[in-house]
């Protein structure tokens, strides 16, 4: 009798041409201006569920084209991945840190994608595994730990997990000693987890249907979720709510804010249902955060100076602020931490990190913590206890691997606890880093951090990275993956462009809303200045950026396509106009203070339209472009890069590579896991080497 088993199906033949997206008539009109958008259909009408067969077929076709073009580069990708993985110490652990009666640390096992969380008693005893991410991630294409919080008495652990990239986390709680996972389960969260009421309850925030955290909720252990109490609700759809504990753990701090205004309330942690204490009612454009010690509030605020001041107020008169540290044009005060016997402020001077220890009883006593290099990244590390006499500090530079330091406050001296190990070897003496300032077209000096090998030849390839949004500074820190370009003759440069707050709050303001185009111009001007200095040449520059940095990539690809030898845009925010016009999208109302509101403001509409990368694609030659997206991404929705690539394919006049990869099981951050994410970096670098003609 013949075998009835059908023969195995052959894999589909690789595509011989890039997919061409259908054009379907669609337009919208605002302020008397009609905008045609023939690729709007790529947004599934059932989003956040994506089930439309035509949409999925197009994304799969783009993925097939991506693999058809990149598969010949697989030997390079594999070699780069092996090289990058060889720089990671696979069996590694953090330096244990004391918190109460326990020492806590995290640990990676050989070959593991995810970490394990451990502790042991300070007074001696066996190690305890309190959370095993490896086990939790098993069977999931994507895994991300959101929040993790040990109860104040050390008995219980709460944690939250996202297993599809949608950034909606499910909370679970367990008894550490027995491993018993409680029946309590809270789905749909997007927040920290805060233990209150003598460890009988958790405070959390739910993401609403539009992925906005407009609430702070109290869950008492062992009770149904329907009995949870809403401690605070935010009615302004542009604001987000977040909660934390004060440094002395006496207060639950409930904050709500958008990108330029904030408001804080205090509730006794032991009695979270008590009436909240409003510190000061919100005032448009004023941001502040707060902590408390001995009946005195400490307030970090930008009400009198855009670079922030530190003020104090009596707990019973929280709105009466008295300056403790005045705002300064020179010192950008980014934050503060209270401890029992002293406090620490952090900030930047001319873009470089600065940490100072200060004293409650002697305001004139200021002890800056000194660091050895001219350009570096330094910050307070994990310092969980109220009574500390030695502080954990994190330090690195573009040529110095990350270090965990212990700073003795009384002795004003450092001890090195751990230096990042690079198993395959690393010799810092082979590399040089410098900080340049180059003039933008309006004369503003733009800082640039550059790293290269000392033996690099002038005029070689250069990779330029930028972000430039939301007041997020890009620090000149260390990267093991970066070495795979630098060791092949690249200079690696970070452009500290306006829109970030690298040089203070004014730097941020000079790159947002009506001044947004400064960000794009700065990036181009930095590239041209590096060419003028002989560091590289037009067409020898690769560039990359993600999210708002992906918007930057799209804008400069439109404006100066001849400069770039390769462009990599990760989850790029390129459909800016349509997104900012759609108030039903999760982020849009909260983004208007950043970009402007084109629904109400015609000038904002015209400005956004003038730089929105998707809207400004034109018939011209474009550089080689690689684009990534995440199907479950709630921040930059998958259709933005898909539409952008479709329009580029329609209009560009060159034969250069244009490839799009959509992670069908991930979100904004791409693949999870420390090695899986390395594979995506290896793909990016292989694309860059290929397009710039640099040998492996």
Please report where in the chains the tokens 């970066």 appear, as a residue.
Answer: 482
Better-scored residue on pLDDT, 312 or 696: 312
Is residue 696 within 8 Å of 76, Cβ to Cβ? yes
Q: Which of 44, 246, 633, 672 is catalytic?
A: 633
Is residue 215 within 8 Å of 232, Cβ to Cβ? yes
Determine what percent of the chain is predicted with pLDDT higher than 90.
90
The pLDDT confidence band at residue 4, using thresholds 50, 70 and 90, is very low
Sheet holding 362-368, edge to edge: 331-338, 343-349, 352-359, 362-368
Residue 633 among the catalytic residues: yes
**Crossing angle of helices 517-532 and 548-559, rounded to 10°:** 60
Q: Is the pLDDT of residue 8 over 80?
A: no
pLDDT of residue 165: 83
pLDDT of residue 48: 85
Catalogue the E-assigned strands of 316-444.
322-325, 331-338, 343-349, 352-359, 362-368, 377-380, 390-396, 403-408, 413-419, 431-439
pLDDT of residue 203: 98
Q: Shortest CA distance to 240 belongs to which of 283, 191, 201, 295?
A: 191
What's the chain's average pLDDT? 95
For residue range 604-661, list pLDDT tens digits in order: 999 999 999 999 999 999 999 999 999 988 888 999 999 999 999 999 999 999 999 9
Distance between CA atoms of 437 and 572, rounded to whole angstroms?
27
Helix (H) or strand (E) segment spanning residue 546 = strand 541-546
Coil, strand or helix: which one is 257?
Answer: strand
For residue range 263-273, list pLDDT tens digits in order: 999 999 999 99
Q: Write out the two tokens for 417.
A: 């606890």
As beta bridge partners, residue 489 has none
Is residue 128 within 8 Å of 150, Cβ to Cβ? no
pLDDT of residue 1: 36
Is residue 531 within 8 Å of 521, Cβ to Cβ? no
Q: Is the pLDDT of residue 406 over 50?
A: yes
- Give the pLDDT mean for 347-366: 95
Residue 668 among the catalytic residues: yes
pLDDT of residue 11: 65
For residue range 268-297, list pLDDT tens digits in order: 999 999 999 999 999 999 999 999 999 999
Is residue 116 within 8 Å of 134, Cβ to Cβ? yes
- CB within 8 Å of 429: residues ≥ 6 apart: 454
pLDDT of residue 632: 85
Number of H helices, E strands in the chain: 12, 39
* Residue 529 CB neighbours (<10 A): 18
Q: Shortest CA distance to 623 belongs to which of 575, 688, 686?
A: 688
Helix (H) or strand (E) segment spanning residue 320 = none
Is residue 504 left, alpha or beta, with left meaning phi > 0 and alpha meaning psi from -120 to 50?
left
Q: Is the pLDDT of residue 210 over 90?
A: no
Chain-centroid distance, C-alpha 685: 20
Q: How far is CA 333 from CA 314, 351, 386, 502, 503, in A?
A: 22, 11, 22, 12, 11
- CB within 8 Å of 560: residues ≥ 6 apart: 524, 527
Q: Shortest CA distance to 589 belongs to which of 43, 213, 146, 47?
A: 213
For residue range 369-389, list pLDDT tens digits in order: 999 888 899 999 999 999 999
Q: How far is CA 243 from CA 3, 30, 205, in A?
A: 65, 38, 8
What's 386's DSSP letter?
S
Better-scored residue on pLDDT, 676 or 476: 476
Alpha-carbon torsion (421, 425, 430, 436), positive or negative: negative
The pLDDT confidence band at residue 10, using thresholds 50, 70 and 90, is low
The pLDDT confidence band at residue 7, using thresholds 50, 70 and 90, is low
Q: Is the pLDDT of residue 670 over 70?
A: no
- Give the pLDDT mean for 383-398: 97
pLDDT of residue 597: 96
Q: Which of 58, 166, 668, 672 is catalytic?
A: 668
- CB within 8 Å of 119: residues ≥ 6 apart: 102, 103, 104, 105, 127, 128, 130
pLDDT of residue 270: 97
The beta-carbon contacts of 108-113 under 8 Å, at least 24 apart in sequence, are 108/674, 109/134, 113/137, 113/672, 113/673, 113/674, 113/675, 113/676
Q: Is the pLDDT of residue 77 over 60?
A: yes
What DSSP letter does each residue of 180-243 carry, written as one string? PEEEEEEEEE-S--EEETTTTEEEE-B--TTS---EEEEEETTS-GGG-EEEEE---TT-EEEE
Coil, strand or helix: which one is 622?
Answer: coil
What's 515's DSSP letter?
G
The pLDDT confidence band at residue 38, using thresholds 50, 70 and 90, is very high
Length of the chain: 696
Q: Is the pLDDT of residue 162 over 60?
A: yes
Coil, strand or helix: which one is 466?
Answer: coil
Is residue 244 within 8 Å of 264, Cβ to Cβ? no
Q: Is the pLDDT of residue 524 over 50?
A: yes
Distance between CA atoms of 384 and 99, rounded to whole angstroms?
6
Is residue 120 within 8 Å of 133, Cβ to Cβ? no
Q: Which of 547, 570, 575, 672 is catalytic?
A: 547
Q: Is the pLDDT of residue 318 over 90?
A: yes
Distance between CA atoms of 28 and 247, rounded to whole angstroms?
50
Residue 233 among the catalytic residues: no
* Residue 575 CB neighbours (<10 A): 30
Q: How far is CA 55 from CA 20, 61, 563, 584, 658, in A?
A: 12, 10, 34, 20, 19
pLDDT of residue 196: 98
Structural domains of the chain, ranges and CATH numbers in brackets: 27-85+425-692 (3.40.50.1820), 140-278 (2.130.10.120)
Is residue 547 within 8 Å of 573, Cβ to Cβ? yes
């Amino acid at each position: 009798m013949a075998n009835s088993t059908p023969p195995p199906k052959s894999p589909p033949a690789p595509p011989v041409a890039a997919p061409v997206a259908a054009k379907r008539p669609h337009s919208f009109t605002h302020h008397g201006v009609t905008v045609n958008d023939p690729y709007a259909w790529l947004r599934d009408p059932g989003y956040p569920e994506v089930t439309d067969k035509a949409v999925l077929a197009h994304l799969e076709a783009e993925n097939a084209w991506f693999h058809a073009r990149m598969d010949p580069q697989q030997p390079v990708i594999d070699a780069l991945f092996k090289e990058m993985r060889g720089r990671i110490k696979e069996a590694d652990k953090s330096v244990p840190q004391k918190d109460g009666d326990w020492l806590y640390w995290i640990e990676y096992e050989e070959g593991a994608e995810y970490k394990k969380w451990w502790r042991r008693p300070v007074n001696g005893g066996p190690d305890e595994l309190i959370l095993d991410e490896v086990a939790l991630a098993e069977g999931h294409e994507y895994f991300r730990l959101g929040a993790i919080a040990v109860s104040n008495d050390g008995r219980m652990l709460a944690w939250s997990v996202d297993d599809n990239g949608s950034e909606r986390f499910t909370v679970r709680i367990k008894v550490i000693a027995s491993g018993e996972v409680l029946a309590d389960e809270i789905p749909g969260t997007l927040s920290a987890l805060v233990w209150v009421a003598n460890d009988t309850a958790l405070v959390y925030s739910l993401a609403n249907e539009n992925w906005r955290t407009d609430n702070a909720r109290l869950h008492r252990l062992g009770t149904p979720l329907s009995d949870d109490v809403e401690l605070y609700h935010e009615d302004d759809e542009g604001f987000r709510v977040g909660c934390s504990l004060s440094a002395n753990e006496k207060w639950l701090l409930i904050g709500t804010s958008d990108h330029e205004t904030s408001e804080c309330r205090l509730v006794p942690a032991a009695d979270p249902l008590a009436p909240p204490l409003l510190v000061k009612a919100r005032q448009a454009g004023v941001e502040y955060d707060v902590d408390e010690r001995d009946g005195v509030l400490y307030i970090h605020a930008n009400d009198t100076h855009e670079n922030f001041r530190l003020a104090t107020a009596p707990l019973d008169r929280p709105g009466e602020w008295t300056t403790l540290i005045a705002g300064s044009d020179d010192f950008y005060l980014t934050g503060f931490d209270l401890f029992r016997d002293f406090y620490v402020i952090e900030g930047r001077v001319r873009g470089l990190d600065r940490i100072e220890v200060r004293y409650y009883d002697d305001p004139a006593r200021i002890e800056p913590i000194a660091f050895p290099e001219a350009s570096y990244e330094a910050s307070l590390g994990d310092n969980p206890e109220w009574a500390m006499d030695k502080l954990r500090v994190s330090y690195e530079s573009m040529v110095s691997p990350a270090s965990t330091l212990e700073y003795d406050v009384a002795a004003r001296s450092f001890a090195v606890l751990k230096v990042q190990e690079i198993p395959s070897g690393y010799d810092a003496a082979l590399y040089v880093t410098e900080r340049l300032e180059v003039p933008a077209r309006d004369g503003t000096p733009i800082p640039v951090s550059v790293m290269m090998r000392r033996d690099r030849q002038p005029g070689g390839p250069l990779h330029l990275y930028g972000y430039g949004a939301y007041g997020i500074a890009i620090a000149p820190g260390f990267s093991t993956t970066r070495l795979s370009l630098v060791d092949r003759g690249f200079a690696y440069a970070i452009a500290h462009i306006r829109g970030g707050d690298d040089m203070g709050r004014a730097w941020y303001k000079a790159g947002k809303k009506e001044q947004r185009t400064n960000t794009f111009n700065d990036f181009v001007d930095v590239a041209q200045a590096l060419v003028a200095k002989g560091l590289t040449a037009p067409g020898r520059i690769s560039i990359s950026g993600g999210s708002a940095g992906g918007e930057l990539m799209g804008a400069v690809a439109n404006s100066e396509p001849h400069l770039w030898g390769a462009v990599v845009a990760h989850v790029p925010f390129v459909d800016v106009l349509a997104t900012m016009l759609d108030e039903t999208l999760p982020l849009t109302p909260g983004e208007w203070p950043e970009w402007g509101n084109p629904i109400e403001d015609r000038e904002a509409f015209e400005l956004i339209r003038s730089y929105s990368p998707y809207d400004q694609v034109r018939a011209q030659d474009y550089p080689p472009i690689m684009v990534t997206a995440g199907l479950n991404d709630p921040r930059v929705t998958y259709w933005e890069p898909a539409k952008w690539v479709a329009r580029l394919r329609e209009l560009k006049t060159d034969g250069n590579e244009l490839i799009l990869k959509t992670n069908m099981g991930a979100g904004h951050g791409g693949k999870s896991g420390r090695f899986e994410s390395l594979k995506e970096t290896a793909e990016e670098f292989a694309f860059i080497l290929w397009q710039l003609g640099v040998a492996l």
